[in-house]
């Protein structure tokens, strides 16, 4: 009997704190980061098929590769190899529905890779535990283990070593999507260049932010958001300065570039404030689209054994 298709829903992330160290001999930078999973999601459906391949739908689908460079396909191949299948003929088809901006600093590719690992674990009845999946995930990319885990977590190493963090209450965000993406390696390289020629400010210690998360007070958290990659993203995309200013003028408590950017995330006092800020920011003409989101939400999870019917995400077109 042909196994039933499996659909996994997987969240985007924002880095509430991103402290970047010097480059390591392997080219990666040592990080201390706090991830939060947000209610902007992709869905990945895996099914057994004679003709393997990938279909991509949704926001930004045109700029997602459908060949072997798709990170979700690399996940298929790695798990096939791990479980003794032929990685070149895995006999599966993926359908990816994008709700996470592509090349936006919100870990969309990592999310799809994590979703694929979890879905195949079910489809192929591998019965791998979360720790095994997380170890395989780290081979695919630094952010992939967090996409599996979700919630709020402290990440160290290159971002792949995770410890869950207590975050009381739900935080409400407005997310401003830019017209074009930014490549992650280029943003790290730009930070190294900026640091070689001047001394851009570095974010402080992470402990005060962890305390703010435990308190659940968005005003306290807003004062402590920090991202060392922000200066590099703004240097490559100077218009982000205007976006960040516009979000705060619209009433957000604070704004930050999400990871390597160019998406900006604005923390708001509550859900109603987020809707008001989103409406005003979308009128300011500083970005492509504005969405509201909340976090933390769970990591990758199976939502149905049939292809999902996806509700349209809340968004305001700028």
Ligand X SMILES: C[C@@](CO)(OP(=O)(O)O)[C@H](O)COP(=O)(O)OP(=O)(O)OC[C@H]1O[C@@H](n2ccc(N)nc2=O)[C@H](O)[C@@H]1O
143 is an active site residue: yes
C-beta of 49 vs 284, nearer to ligand ADP: 49
Q: Of 161-180, which residues contact ligand ADP (CB under 6 A)?
A: none
- Whether 102 has a binding-site annotation, put simply, is yes
Binding partner at 158 among ligand X, ligand ADP, none, C-beta below 5 to 8 Å by kind: ligand X
- Whether 109 has a binding-site annotation, put simply, is yes
Instruction: Tell me if 147 contacts ligand ADP by CB under 6 A.
Output: no
Instruction: Tell me if 102 contacts ligand ADP by CB under 6 A.
Output: yes
- Cβ–Cβ under 8 Å, residues 125 and 114: no
CA distance 44 to 53: 13
Inter-axis angle of helices 130-140 and 71-82, nearest 10: 130
Going by their DSSP bridges, the two strands 161-164 and 152-156 should be labelled as: antiparallel
| Helix/strand/coil for 102 | coil
Could you give the string, one character per residue 286-315, with x where binding to ligand X holds by CB under 6 A and - elsewhere? Answer: ------------------------------
Binding partner at 70 among ligand X, ligand ADP, none, C-beta below 5 to 8 Å by kind: ligand ADP
| Helix/strand/coil for 71 | helix
CA distance 210 to 228: 17
Instruction: Tell me if 141 contacts ligand X by CB under 6 A.
Output: yes
| Helix/strand/coil percentages in the chain, nearest 5 | 35, 30, 35
- Cβ–Cβ under 8 Å, residues 249 and 215: no
Q: Which residue stretch of 98-106, 117-125, 222-230, 248-256 sits at the interface with ligand ADP (rule: CB under 6 A)?
A: 98-106
- Cβ–Cβ under 8 Å, residues 299 and 5: no
C-beta of 5 vs 262, nearer to ligand X: 262
Catalytic residue among 59, 143, 178, 228: 143
- Cβ–Cβ under 8 Å, residues 258 and 181: no
Question: Which residue in 21, 24, 55, 65 binds ligand ADP (CB under 6 A)?
Answer: 65
Residue 288 per-residue DSSP state: S
Instruction: Tell me if 226 contacts ligand ADP by CB under 6 A.
Output: no
Annotated binding site: 101-111
What are the binding residues for ATP? 101-111
List interacting residues with ligand X (CB under 6 A): 15, 18, 27-29, 31, 33, 105, 107, 110, 141-143, 158-159, 184-185, 188, 259-260
């Amino acid at each position: 009997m042909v196994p039933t298709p499996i659909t996994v829903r997987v969240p985007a992330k924002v880095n509430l704190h991103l402290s970047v160290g010097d480059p390591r001999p392997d080219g990666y930078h040592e990080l201390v980061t706090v991830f939060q999973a947000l209610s902007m999601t992709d869905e990945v459906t895996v099914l057994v098929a004679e003709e393997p391949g990938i279909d991509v739908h949704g926001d930004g689908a045109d700029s997602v590769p459908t060949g072997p460079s798709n990170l979700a396909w690399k996940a298929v191949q790695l798990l096939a190899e791990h479980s003794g299948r032929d990685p070149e003929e895995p006999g599966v088809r993926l359908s990816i529905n994008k709700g996470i901006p592509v090349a936006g600093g919100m870990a969309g590719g990592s999310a799809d890779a994590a979703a694929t690992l979890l879905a195949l674990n079910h489809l192929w009845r591998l019965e791998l535990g979360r720790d095994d999946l997380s170890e395989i995930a780290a081979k695919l990319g630094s952010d992939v283990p967090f996409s599996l885990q979700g919630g709020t977590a402290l990440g160290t190493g290159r971002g792949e070593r995770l410890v869950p963090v207590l975050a009381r209450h739900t935080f409400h965000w407005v997310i401003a999507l830019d017209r074009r993406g930014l490549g992650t390696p280029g943003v790290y390289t730009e930070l190294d260049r900026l640091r070689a020629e001047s001394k851009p400010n570095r974010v402080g210690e992470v402990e005060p932010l962890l305390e703010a998360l435990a308190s659940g007070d968005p005003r306290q958290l807003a004062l402590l958001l920090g991202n060392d990659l922000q200066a590099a993203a703004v240097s490559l995309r100077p218009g982000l300065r205007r976006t960040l200013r516009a979000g705060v003028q619209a009433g957000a408590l604070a704004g930050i570039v999400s990871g390597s950017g160019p998406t900006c995330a604005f923390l708001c006092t509550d859900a109603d404030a987020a809707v008001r800020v989103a409406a005003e920011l979308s009128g300011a003409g500083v970005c492509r689209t504005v969405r509201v989101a909340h976090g933390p939400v769970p990591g990758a999870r199976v939502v149905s054994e049939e292809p999902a019917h996806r509700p349209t995400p809340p968004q305001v077109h700028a």
